Chain A
Amino acid sequence: MKLNFSERKGVFILSKRLLVLITVFALVFSLSFAGCAKKEGAKEETKEPEVIKIGVVTPLTGDVATFGQSTKKAVEMAVEEINAAGGVLGKKIEVVIEDDRNDPKETANVVRKLIDQDKVVAIIGSLTSKCSLAGMPIANAKKIPMISNASTNPKVTLTGPYAFRVCFIDDFQGQVMAKFAYEELGAKKAAVLYDIGNDYTKGLAEYFVKSFKELGGEIVAEETYQQADNDFNAQLTSIKGKNPDVIFLPDYYQKVSLIAKQARGLGIKATFLGGDGWDSPELFKLGGEAIEGGYFSNHYSQQDPDPKTQEFIKKFEEKYGEKPDALAALGYDAFYYLVEGIKKAGKVDSVAIRDGIEAVGKAGFSGVTGKFTIDENRNPIKAAVVLKVEGGQFKFVKRVEP
């Protein structure tokens, strides 16, 4: 490797030639991106917009891409329905969907792009809490309402008055399962095993422990692991010695099925409990017999008899040939929640829309994941459903009201 300026010494001298070259390079690249920006911006200069532009930021690539794809599908379906029915306030809706790769830095970029270049009046997203926490401060500063469909971290809506969500928060899911285990299953001794590096599983576990103790139960073991771990025998052996009635495993389906298999292999008979991360058909494929008889809380159930839910499932299946997961249902609700807010506002103005969304939330919104009203921090107070894993299916057990 040869050095560019090896013959010169010491002082800071800019080589003129190199400077010119770098300027040219920088110009070409900035042009390539300023050029497209201008065109997009120019279109939206007019005062009275013909269409209502709504931005969507969700991870279409990266580690949680499947969740982002579900959200995208649900939103696209909702837009089609609304436009087919004549739009909102007599105007068609146009969505701009952008990928953030589940990287907070990209979310910040996307939110600014959607607001500055695409001139959206409201944003749906982002999916994970860490991305929402990076994007929502910007939306708040720019006074653009932003509704997340799946960010369960309590801090998300504390970023400002323009931050909303349609899912329940981590605390609630932990409470629901604790209550269900203690009251319905009659469990007195519980163990928890969770990923210490994941805010989602940690949040659920913490609140499960807290609520279970408050109810009068006993937490006999609290074990943790790291995201990269695949061998849980050490933790499970320790848990086995304490002989719990239930084991709370608030992780995603891949980890849960591994843990369940290893636990049954060690002869642990306790019932497994979990959170919405279990919601995937992969759970049966990976977990097999081991996961049978487990219970978990979820945002909605495909077997929920509510006609609104059933209609959504039917439409989604017709359009995409697959059953919608919880993220799709939540994305669909987030979009309709926003649309109701726009209707309430009566005009296409983001400040009015924010007030509209809040008013709709306060009065109560009914979506495919159930009815909810929002509290003073704009967090939905809604019921969770408890599902049972039985014969390769998720059986609807009951709806747990907050």
Chain B
Amino acid sequence: MIEQLLSNFMSSYQIQILSFIGIFTILAISLDIINGYTGQFSIGHAGFMAVGGYVAAYLTFYHQVPFILATLAGALSAAFFGLLIGIPTLRLRGDYLAIATLGFAEIIRVVLLNLDVVGGARGFAGISNLSNFDTVLIITIISFIVLYNFTRSAYGRALQSIREDEIAAECMGVPTTYFKVLAFVVAAFFAGIAGSLYGHYLMFLHPNDFGLLRSIEILLMIVLGGMGNLWGALLGAIVLSILPESLRNYQGIVYTIAVVYLVGVAISYQKGKQNIARWLAGILIAGLAVGFILIYGKELIIRYAGQMRMIIYSILLILMMIFQPSGLIGLARDLAKPLKERLRGVKA
């Protein structure tokens, strides 16, 4: 219904990107429970996604199980794997845990590569198209509300206490192992849901699609968006899903650079208020330089847009990490600060 409404003024291409944003939002916010809220470092999220996706697709493909039940089964199996990996590995900390989760995701991938019943190395083709924009939207909203409330419940505060200081948390009577496993189980559950949505949307699953790169992509979303904040994860998922697509053509590149430039201007304004003249000169020169490149390099950019896309994408990520390590949500907060002050001033 919402999809039909949107299709009046959006192409199915844009609706598809919105759907992927939804799916990756679920992945990002669930990973944020582990990495952002509990302070554990997991880089195996694609493994849980794969379990959910394959189990759900198996059920709908071979047993014609209704989509919702299959998704639930996929999510529960992913949660079970979360438990399975959580119990033995959560004695590990930091780097060791990261390597263990990575290893776990690799095991899942390699097992799937050798399971001929789900296509093995040739991939699982012919999955019915059971999820569309509407299902993705509804499930994303439900997941967000559930996880949002979870992070703000007593459970969520217990997770945060582990992140801030594990020993102190234990002294205060928080059973840290229990809560760490819980974080893994909850996050895996939602990653499983996302996996099922992904498989039934794309109608195809391939084990190599759930390798390290996919995990890193999800991790990137929460790092870019701002860790330990679900809104940040949401922002990260939106930006990182749209960015590679918007960089596909010249206009998109111009728009993206313009947005980045304007945001840069706004940040530098706040940081360089003492010397307005110098600041103005600086942004003017930067603006002219960017404009010059875009106008005189137009032919070149159009010609090599395909290759340049990922380069620009990486440069933007690097710039972001250098100048805004607190993520997009930190950026939003910084930019809102003067506005907030002014609003407060008016009220007073």
Contacts and interface: CB of A to CB of B under 8 A. Distances in A.
B204 interface: yes
Nearest to A156: B125
Interface string A153-169: 10100110000000000
Contact of A226 (B110, B125, B202): B110
Nearest to A35: B255
A31 interface: yes
A33 B242 contact: yes
A11 interface: yes
Nearest to B331: A25
B206 A130 contact: yes
B121 A105 contact: no
Interface in A80-115: 97-99, 101, 103-106, 108-109, 112-113, 115
Contacts of A3: 160, 228-229
B239 interface: yes
B23 to A, nearest CB: 9
A199 to B, nearest CB: 4
A36 B251 contact: yes
Contact of B125 (A17, A105, A155): A155
Interface in A96-143: 97-99, 101, 103-106, 108-109, 112-113, 115-117, 129-130, 133-134, 137
Contacts of B190: none
Interface string B234-263: 110011001011101101100110110000
A40 B13 CA distance: 13
Nearest to A24: B332
Q: Report, as a range, how many residues of chain A touch the other chain.
A: 35 or more
B231 A22 contact: yes
B56 interface: no
A300 B306 CA distance: 28
A17 B259 contact: no
A54 to B, nearest CB: 16
Interface in B113-156: 113-114, 120-123, 125-126, 129, 145, 148-149, 152-153
B329 interface: yes
- Chain A interface SS verdict (over half): helix
B20 to A, nearest CB: 7
A99 B307 contact: yes
A9 B152 contact: yes
Interface string B252-294: 1001101100000000000000000000000000000000000
Contacts of B246: 29, 32-33, 36
B201 to A, nearest CB: 8
B248 A133 contact: no
Contacts of A49: none
B10 to A, nearest CB: 8
A33 B250 CA distance: 11
Given A29-B239, A226-B110, A17 B13 contact: no
Contacts of B152: 5, 8-12
Contact of B204 (A34, A101, A137): A137
Interface residues of B, number: 64
Interface string A251-268: 000000000000000000
Contacts of B258: 32
A71 to B, nearest CB: 12
Interface in B11-58: 11-14, 16-17, 20, 36
Contacts of A137: 129, 203-204
A18 B208 contact: no
B120 A41 contact: no
A363 interface: no
A230 interface: no
Contact of B13 (A1, A101, A112, A226): A112
17 contacts: A9-B152, A11-B152, A17-B340, A22-B332, A25-B235, A29-B239, A34-B10, A34-B14, A36-B255, A61-B306, A72-B306, A99-B248, A101-B310, A104-B206, A113-B245, A133-B206, A137-B129
Interface of A: 1, 3-5, 8-12, 17-18, 21-22, 25-26, 28-37, 39-41, 60-61, 72, 97-99, 101, 103-106, 108-109, 112-113, 115-117, 129-130, 133-134, 137, 153, 155, 158-159, 196-199, 202-203, 226
Given A22-B332, A99-B248, A199-B122, 20 more contacts: A1-B227, A5-B152, A21-B332, A25-B332, A32-B242, A32-B246, A33-B17, A33-B246, A35-B251, A36-B249, A36-B251, A37-B14, A72-B306, A99-B309, A99-B310, A106-B244, A137-B203, A158-B126, A202-B120, A202-B122
Among all A-B residue pairs, the 5 with the closest Cβ atoms:
A32-B255, A36-B251, A116-B11, A112-B13, A199-B121
